[in-house]
Structures are given as structure tokens and as C-alpha cells.
Amino acid sequence: MKQLTFISILLLFICNTAFGQVTIGRQVIGSTGSFATGTSMTLSSTVGEAVIHTLSSGNILITQGFQQPTVTSSASGIITYTYEQESCIGAKNGAFISVDSVVGCLAPYAITSVKSILDTSLLLSDISLGAGDYIVTVVGVNGCIVSDTLNIDLKSNEDCSLKFYSGITPNGDGINDVWIIDEIEQFPDNTVQIFNRWGNEVWVGQNYDNTTVVWDGLNKTGTEMATATYFYVVVVDGVTYNGWVELTR
């Protein structure tokens, strides 16, 4: 009889405790993450994180998953400039040029003239250029004036297609502060949705164009979203694309 009573009390204790609510906060489990560094690369990861490489070349950082600029020099080597490559054949909105240094001139610089070598009578903008060669005139803060030929390449010799980057760093430094979708402006009939890891829609935009309609790391109420992995669903002309994007502040 005592043994049966003991068993009954033990079962009652198990029943009362086995189904209690347990809350576990976010944490890294185990020690299987890694960290490595070298002359041009630093790589760190923990369990459950996407592995992202960052390479360095001089003062330029290139991080996997982000839209990257191209740094090069003019035909004569006098002007060093950065530009976003014209990404595909038939793009309606072009690349842009930013002058980094000019031999004999003091920064900051202003681009006062951009002309195609095919039609030097046509004055162009420095923020909407197709692939090709351009005669660019730059003025330095010390009054120097330099003209040289700058080139913009194609990223590929294929027709325009969408490219989704997997990183956004909305920290106000002007680099990757918004989530760019290459060539989305060529397809204005689109819808972009951003979801958190629980499947809740946190941001949505119609007619996404990388400028007036673009995700900048805020949710639908204008609140900053936390560093985390988010997921996108993009519908363009009836075709659905989905994937993930890492937001880092």
C-alpha cells in the first residue's frame, strides 16, 4: 500500500511539471562558431548564422551579398573614380560616376560636364549613364579644371534581369542603407514584401524602384527593425521570387 501511494505521488508530480511553460531567450548554443583573419579577409560565424565574407583592397571593403562599386582610373590615369556598372543590355536607368581623386586637384570635386564621345554636343547627367566612354570635366576646390575620358562597363552581356542582394546596413553611412534590387525599375508592375522569421509581414511596397519606393530598414509603422535575418517575396509581372536578406545595424 505504501508503494502504491509513493507511485501515485510520483506520477502526480510528473504530470504537474512535465507540461509547464518554459521560455528560452535567443542565444548561441554550443561553441561551434569560428573566427579567422588574414591579410585581406576576416570571417566570423556562429551556429545558425549565414556565413558572409568581407574582403579588403586598400581602403575599399567588399562584402558578400551587397551591391559593389567599381573603382578604376581614367584613360590617362589622372582621374580615379567609382561607378556603378551598367548592369545589363537595355537598362532604362543607368549607372553613376563619383570622382575619388584627381592628380593636381584638391577635393572635394564637382563634375561640371559629362558628354558621350559619340555625341559631344549632348550634355548628360553623371547619375544616369549607360555603358560606354564619356568625356567628363571635373573642378577641384582649388579651382583646377580637368577633362578626361571615363569608361562605364557592362556587368554582363545579357539582357536585363533582376538581382536580389542579401545584405542591408541601414546605419546612415550612405552605403547599403537601402535594399537595392538590380533592374527592378525596369519592371514597374511589382510588389515587394518583407517578412520576419515568424512569417509576419513587416514591410510592403508597390512599384518598387530603389529610390522613391525602397526598403530602408524600417517597418510599416516607420520603426527601426532589429538586426536579424528577414525574408522577401517579390512578385514581378506575375512571377514570384523569394529569398532572405540580412539586416545589420
- Residue-wise pLDDT for 194-249, tens only, equals 999 999 999 999 999 999 999 999 999 999 999 999 999 999 988 899 999 999 98
CB count within 10 Å of CB 181 equals: 23
| C-alpha cell at position 2 | 505504501
CA–CA distance, 81 with 99 (Å, rounded to integer): 4
Domain ranges of the chain: 34-63, 70-152, 163-247
194, 201 in Cβ contact below 8 A? Answer: yes
CB count within 10 Å of CB 216 equals: 13
Q: Which fold has domain 163-247?
A: Immunoglobulin-like (2.60.40)
Predicted confidence (pLDDT) at residue 120 exceeds the cutoff of 70: yes
**Tell me: the pLDDT tens digits for 10-25?**
444 444 444 444 444 4
Predicted confidence (pLDDT) at residue 32 exceeds the cutoff of 60: no
- Give 210's DSSP letter: S
For the chain, give the mean pLDDT: 77
- Give 184's DSSP letter: G
**How distant, in Å, are the alpha carbons of 96, 120, 227, 230 from that of 169?**
21, 39, 9, 13
CA–CA distance, 41 with 88 (Å, rounded to integer): 30
Which of 8, 2, 131, 146 minimizes the C-alpha distance to 70? 131
How would you classify the pairing of strands 239-247 and 167-168? parallel
**Tell me: the pLDDT tens digits for 48-105?**
555 555 555 444 555 555 555 667 888 788 999 887 766 566 565 567 788 999 998 9
Compare 192 and 87 and report the one with higher pLDDT: 192
Most confident of 21-35, 50-64, 111-125: 111-125
Predicted confidence (pLDDT) at residue 119 exceeds the cutoff of 80: yes
Compare 8 and 194 and report the one with higher pLDDT: 194
Determine the pLDDT at residue 202.
97
